[in-house]
Structure 1
Amino acid sequence: MEKLESNRNFVESQHVPERIEVSGFEAADDSVHMLEWIRKGRDFRRFVVNDIETELYAQDANSQLLSVCCKAKPNFETKVKTDQQAKNGVVTQFLAAFPVSLRVRSANGDVWRLEVEHSYQATNLDVPDEFQLRLNFTIVGHQIEA
């Protein structure tokens, strides 16, 4: 992640040399250790933005993601398998849901604001050979900018 003028943060776009402005992700900085459970690394700003771009560009290859704003602390849910005899537990599933607001320039030049629920669901965390990660990208609102 780059920091440039006036402390604005940017992530490189898949469409070089474009950059995407990111904000609001500080809300998850204290949860990096949990986000590592989805096995995409520690730089969650970069992988969240990259995964959002992949979803958008699959629909409109000539669009450009302009900005991503994380609107609130991500929602985390875990499922745990407990061992009653040993009196301990192990996390078997993890869900991380990011409520984000996107600005996207479509191929025809229109700029859209999209409200998105972007989430990761990791299962079989306790079985390395059976680990699975599912990405969910749900647009819950959209509006064209004037």
Structure 2
Amino acid sequence: MPRILTILVFSLFGCAAMADSINSINEGNTIDVSGFDCAEKSAHMIEWLGRGKDYRSFVIADVEKSLYEQQPGSQLLKIECTGEPELLTGALPQNGDETKAILTRFSATFPLKVTVNLSGAVWVLTIDQNYYAENLNTPSERKLTQNFTVKGSAKQ
């Protein structure tokens, strides 16, 4: 019996860690958040974007901002990271040595499913939130581009 109770307690805490709620940038509203733990093993690489260690916070804030710019009056209700981010790198040989390279470009694409309230209608969108960092080898010329791509939508 104690073993079953221990398993139950760990299961409950595990689920609590997977789903969370955060404050929206629209005051008085909250957003249900889940699935971002799937990017944890890549967090050290995601830092190359230059946005800090808390990828979950900046991805959610960027998606929310993009949604509200495109659809004023909407409210993000839920955001779920549905899989590991796709990570791509680009490098140049270092000092002409093909066995050594310096990172010059990095791209991270987060596959997301978001639920949005738009004037009382609830929509579920499939989104790719992409970040493309270039000139990583030249800090003074470093550039970060964001791409918010809606790949699909369905009215609930």
TM-score of the aligned structures, taking structure 1 as reference length: 0.90
- 1:36-115 aligned at under 5 Å gives the runs 36-83=47-94, 84-85=96-97, 87-106=99-118, 108-115=119-126
Cα deviation, residue 10, structure 1? 2.1
In structure 1, the gaps of 5 or more residues are 1-5
Structure 1 vs Structure 2: percent identity of aligned residues? 36
Larger Rg: 2
In structure 2, the gaps of 5 or more residues are 1-14
Which aligned runs of 4 or more in structure 1 are off by greater than 6 angstroms?
A: none
* Kept in 2: contact 1:103–1:111 (CA 8 A): yes
* Equivalent-residue separation in structure 1 for 2:132 and 2:152 (angstroms): 22
* Equivalent-residue separation in structure 2 for 1:141 and 1:17 (angstroms): 28
Tell me the amino acid that sits aligned with residue 149 of structure 2.
T
Tell me the amino acid that sits aligned with residue 59 of structure 1.
Q
1:34 maps to which residue?
A: 45
Q: Quick one: structure 1 residues 112 and 93, their matched pair in 2 at CA, closer, same or farther if it must change by over 3 Å?
A: same
* Matched residue count: 139
Task: Summarize deviations over 1:96-143 as a string: whole Å, max 9, x none.
Answer: 00111000001x110100011110000011111111111011111000
Report the RMSD for the aligned CA atoms in angstroms.
1.4
**Is the partner of 2:89 in helix, strand or coil?**
strand
Task: Summarize deviations over 1:27-77 as a string: whole Å, max 9, x none.
Answer: 101111111111111111110000001110001221110111111111000
TM-score of the aligned structures, taking structure 2 as reference length: 0.84
Cα deviation, residue 87, structure 1? 4.0
* Equivalent-residue separation in structure 1 for 2:33 and 2:140 (angstroms): 34
* Kept in 2: contact 1:11–1:49 (CA 8 A): no
Q: Which moved more, 1:110-119 or 1:8-17?
A: 8-17
Determine which structure has the larger helix proportion and give its number. 2
